[in-house]
Amino acid sequence: MTTARSTHPQPPPYWFDGSAPPWPARLLSHVYAGAVAARAALFRHGVLRSTHPGKPVVVVGNLIAGGSGKTPLVIAIVERLREEGWVPGVASRGYGRQDPTTPRWVEADTAPELAGDEPLLIAREAVVPVRVDRDRAAAARALVERGCNVVVCDDGLQHYRLKRDIEIEVIDGRRRYGNGLLLPAGPLREPLSRRADCDFHVVNAGTEPGDGRIAEAGEAGFGEWRMRLLPGDAQALRGARALPLSAFSGQRVHAVAGIGHPERFFSLLRDLGIAVVPHAFPDHHRYTREDLAFGSDLPVLMTAKDAVKCAPFAGERCYSVPIRTELPEAFWVMLLDRLRECAQGQSM
């Protein structure tokens, strides 16, 4: 397993493996809980103020620290909204980018270190206006001024400065809420009671195993929507050719994942019969050429999020694995109905 330098380490094992958190983490968790409650009260009583951009705002986020599949869902939402005649824009903090205090428009050719990996991926795949700003309320205003009539916020469930109309919680179908404790004793950013405030709960069930079975851990519960991740053809990072993932079945490959839960990507490839040599990097890792020097000439498959950062120095056998989402049509009907209601209310 590759070890990588990063300021964004992988979560401690006790968040998800059932072992007891150390007592300092449990103590700090109580301190954190008090801070979260105090901040929420300040917004609730108007001491800290939220602002609204005047057009519908959809926030896609999660209650736990780390990845849960938000970005593929954001891309899917933006694409569906465009098909339905909306003019969407995406607001993001742009985690991990250089000069994080400077707001910036993200274009398809923006340097990854200036854009952040997820905003750049959204700008390239969804071809949509993307604004990165630590103040997502300011980012939303900028998108509306640019002509967007709906703002989709990538992450930001806890960014209360931006008043929102619809909240979508994304849940990792395998890890769920871990041990159910607040940071740092557990993965929760807010108490589980916060879940009741969200309008939609989307369970990232990942991909189905190759024999067609659906992992029980990925099933959606009552009031939840099941989201599948469907991998596309492997895209060469150098050159225009693409290969179906079946072309790698039965082969050994180096698999690179610098995401919140790397094992999700490795399992996806294994389910397709690919022999994975895993290389897990911390989320939002800043890659260098040396990170891909594995000492053997095997193909290298990586997530699309990692590919936007590795493309400048990738070798001939490096491929990106794009992901699209699949959700029940009833989810889209309900989301679009809610959005139309929001837009009508704001125009009155």
Q: Is 64 a known ligand-binding residue?
A: yes
Q: List pLDDT tens digits, range 44-53.
A: 999 999 999 9
Q: Is 66 a known ligand-binding residue?
A: yes
* Predicted local distance difference test score (pLDDT) of residue 348: 54
Distance CA(114)–CA(107), nearest Å, equals: 11
Q: What is the CATH number of domain 42-227+326-347?
A: 3.40.50
* Predicted local distance difference test score (pLDDT) of residue 99: 85
SS (H, E, C) 60-118: EECCECCCCCHHHHHHHHHHHHHHCCCCEEEEECCCCCCCCCCCEEECCCCCHHHHCHH
Q: List pLDDT tens digits, range 224-237.
A: 999 998 999 999 99
* Predicted local distance difference test score (pLDDT) of residue 69: 83
Q: Is 6 a known ligand-binding residue?
A: no
CA terminus-to-terminus distance, the chain: 57
Peptide bond into 184 cis (omega under 30): yes
Rg (CA), the chain: 20
Distance CA(72)–CA(241), nearest Å, equals: 23
Distance CA(17)–CA(173), nearest Å, equals: 15
* Predicted local distance difference test score (pLDDT) of residue 206: 74
**Positions of the chain with pLDDT under 50:** 1-8, 209-217
* Predicted local distance difference test score (pLDDT) of residue 300: 94
Helix (H, G, I), strand (E, B) or coil at 323: strand
Distance CA(135)–CA(48), nearest Å, equals: 14
Helix (H, G, I), strand (E, B) or coil at 226: strand
Distance CA(43)–CA(277), nearest Å, equals: 47
Contact assessment for residue 156 and residue 95, using Cβ atoms and an 8 Å cutoff: no
CB environment 105-114: b (16+ within 10 A), e (fewer): bbeeebebeb
Please enumerate in sequence order all residues whose Cβ is within 8 A of that of 28, keeping only pairs 6 or more positions apart, or say none: 183, 184, 185
Q: Is 71 a known ligand-binding residue?
A: yes
Distance CA(272)–CA(248), nearest Å, equals: 9
Phi-psi category of 127—alpha, beta or left, where left has phi over 0 and alpha has psi -120 to 50? left
Distance CA(331)–CA(325), nearest Å, equals: 12
* Predicted local distance difference test score (pLDDT) of residue 347: 67
Contact assessment for residue 195 and residue 169, using Cβ atoms and an 8 Å cutoff: yes
Q: Is 2 a known ligand-binding residue?
A: no
Q: Is 65 a known ligand-binding residue?
A: yes
* Predicted local distance difference test score (pLDDT) of residue 7: 39
Measure Cα distances from 18 to 14, 66, 68, 180 in Å.
Answer: 6, 18, 19, 10
Report residue 105 as tokens.
């428009």
Please enumerate in sequence order all residues whose Cβ is within 8 A of that of 70, keeping only pairs 6 or more positions apart, or say none: 60, 61, 62, 154, 155, 170
Distance CA(177)–CA(181), nearest Å, equals: 8
* Chain CA centroid to CA 75, Å: 10
Domain residue ranges in the chain: 42-227+326-347, 233-321
Report residue 307 as tokens.
């590919």
> Residue 54 phi/psi, 5° resolution?
95, -5
Contact assessment for residue 86 and residue 335, using Cβ atoms and an 8 Å cutoff: no
Q: Which residues pair with 275 in a beta bridge?
A: 252
